[in-house]
Structure 1
Amino acid sequence: MIILTTTLGLIFGSLAGFFGGFLDTVLSRAGDIFFSIPYILAAVVIMSVLSAYRNIFVIALAIGLFSWPSTARVLRSEVLRVKQSDYVVAATAIGLSKLRILFRHVLPNSIAPVLVITTLSLAAAITAEATLSFLGVGLPGTTQSWGNDISQAQRDLRTNPQTLIYPSIALSVTVLSFILLGEALRDALDPKARALR
């Protein structure tokens, strides 16, 4: 799901930011349309329609198809900043093709914020999968999922509370770990932001 989210975000964000003009307008409006749809709600609808095919690939597709606009927006703004750099102007002046400039110079220098947002997106995707499974539209009850565990533990809450506590703690610690990893990556990749704190 993160692979799909990052891939779509990289493609749409880099093309929109680098080429600009009509392509930027079309891709940005497409991103706005997807951004306006809450991806949990969209995933609930998709998983309800495809209830006969509930597996990890379908749930990854349902979440990934609607969560890419934030990655695309971050990358687009970074590409807009980087493409004004002197080395991009020099590459244009010596006659390199636009695609070569994009993949050789602009994209590698714009990727740092995408790495940060990817770790944060991973935490959100784990939460989304657990939410869908808890609601009964995610992974089947036979598949291991913290959402399924939490949902099944509701019945035994008064007599056996640890069946709810352990998966809840595991989910919280995992999500918090990816959020902290994103913060650490941001500090490592952007020392100026660290100095301002």
Structure 2
Amino acid sequence: MIRWRAFFRQRQNWLALLLIGLFVGTAVAAPIIAPPNDPESRVPFKSVGQTFTRLPEPPSAEHPLGTVPQIENLPQFGIAPGQDAFYNWDVFFTLIWGTRSALQFGLVVTVLTAVFGIIVGSVGAYTGGWVERLLMAITDAFLAFPVLGAIWIIQRTLFTAVFNPFLEPETLRWWELFLYNFKVSPIMLGLILFSWMPYARLTNSSIAQLRQSEFVTAARSMGATGPRILFRHLLPNAIAPTIVLMAKDVGGMVIWAAAFIFIGFGGEVAWAIVLVGSRDFALGLGGNPFIYWWTFLPIATAITLFGLGWNLLGDGLNRAMNPHLK
């Protein structure tokens, strides 16, 4: 149970709500803050200023945060190789519209991950016996597998055809067509498949402690079925740790995705894609982070504050649910 009075007495919780509210408000008001050229477009990139040198342009009145050279191959956003290859991106536009892709990615991945992990953990804890041992053994096996290696395998085996900009959807198999229609990237699929284990462990541990409680015994004596006891009595009392983990994971998933996109994996977090375009100017041989600061600093700051806000919210919820913590 969340003690809301204790939650709102902490200043850092107000900071967390302020940061999250700022990103949510920016995502909602994006068409007003940074109007796109096409009112029907929802692509978080705005091509500006044709150039033959592919150098970023510094901040100006027209582009408050400057520009970054465009990446040519982004089929997941409808941009094919060679299309607008000699244009730059407006950093301010992507900073504003990127909040939508960040929130969508973080919330979708976290919710799907949590739901799957909670189902595995609760079923194992309630049934017990060999079912619990089998499910927890599978959980431990997934914990031992590196996420980076899993994403690389997924990308090489499942996504070679899906992200081909010249593909014909009629030639795809059913699972490839599903990934293509829902714009699922290897990073999203990899994080969902290899991040559910902490939720399973937390839920399993909490329900294992509660299943011998008196209220569970009373429910059984009154004729309650197993599913009713699990979903009506056990899960509501065991869900608190997973809520805290979910709050932290929304920002954590976006940071993970940004890191993977930066090192070369395809993804749908627009902020990180702009960072890829700025890599040569901030870290390359001819780059200088002090000269081309606008190519990475605004986006990196947004990613940091996004992760900080959700992490502070998770800490605040943890304190509000555990009165013994100081």
TM-score normalised by L of structure 1: 0.89
CA deviations on 1:115-174 (whole Å, 9 max, x unpaired) are 0111222222111211221122122xxx65222222211222323122111111111111
What is the aligned-residue identity percentage? 30
Name segments (4+ residues, structure 1) moved above 3 Å. none
The higher radius of gyration belongs to 2
- The higher relative CO (CA closer than 8 Å, separation ≥ 6) is in 2
Query: Could you tell me which amino acid in structure 2 is paired with residue 57 of structure 1?
Result: V
Match of 2:317 in 1: 185
Match among 139, 142, 149 for residue 31 of structure 1: 139
Partners of 2:316 and 2:136 in 1: how far apart? 29
**Equivalent residues in 2 for 1:56-95 (5 A)?**
56-58=183-185, 59-95=187-223
Match of 1:130 in 2: 258
Query: Could you tell me which amino acid in structure 1 is paired with residue 184 of structure 2?
Result: F
Gaps of 5+ in 2: 1-108, 164-179, 283-287
Partners of 1:51 and 1:147 in 2: how far apart? 21
**Are 2:117 and 1:9 aligned?**
yes
Query: Could you tell me which amino acid in structure 1 is paired with residue 121 of structure 2?
Result: G
Residue pair 1:74, 1:114 contacting (<8 A) in 2 also: yes
Note the aligned Cα RMSD (angstroms).
Answer: 1.7
The farther-off stretch of 48-57 and 182-191 is 48-57
Match among 280, 286, 300 for residue 168 of structure 1: 300
Match of 1:53 in 2: 162
Residue pair 1:40, 1:128 contacting (<8 A) in 2 also: no
* 2:265 match: secondary structure: coil
TM-score normalised by L of structure 2: 0.55
Gaps of 5+ in 1: none
The farther-off stretch of 101-110 and 38-47 is 38-47
CA deviations on 1:154-195 (whole Å, 9 max, x unpaired) are 2223231221111111111111111111101111222222xx
**Number of corresponding residues:** 191
Residue pair 2:124, 2:135 contacting (<8 A) in 1 also: yes
CA deviations on 1:36-87 (whole Å, 9 max, x unpaired) are 1122331232123314435752332221011100111011111111212211
Partners of 2:242 and 2:189 in 1: how far apart? 20
The farther-off stretch of 114-123 and 20-29 is 114-123
Q: What is the deviation of 1:92?
A: 1.2
Partners of 1:147 and 1:32 in 2: how far apart? 31
Query: Could you tell me which amino acid in structure 2 is paired with residue 188 of structure 1?
Result: A
Match of 2:270 in 1: 145
Partners of 1:126 and 1:40 in 2: how far apart? 15
Residue pair 2:142, 2:194 contacting (<8 A) in 1 also: yes
The farther-off stretch of 149-158 and 48-57 is 48-57
The farther-off stretch of 21-30 and 82-91 is 82-91
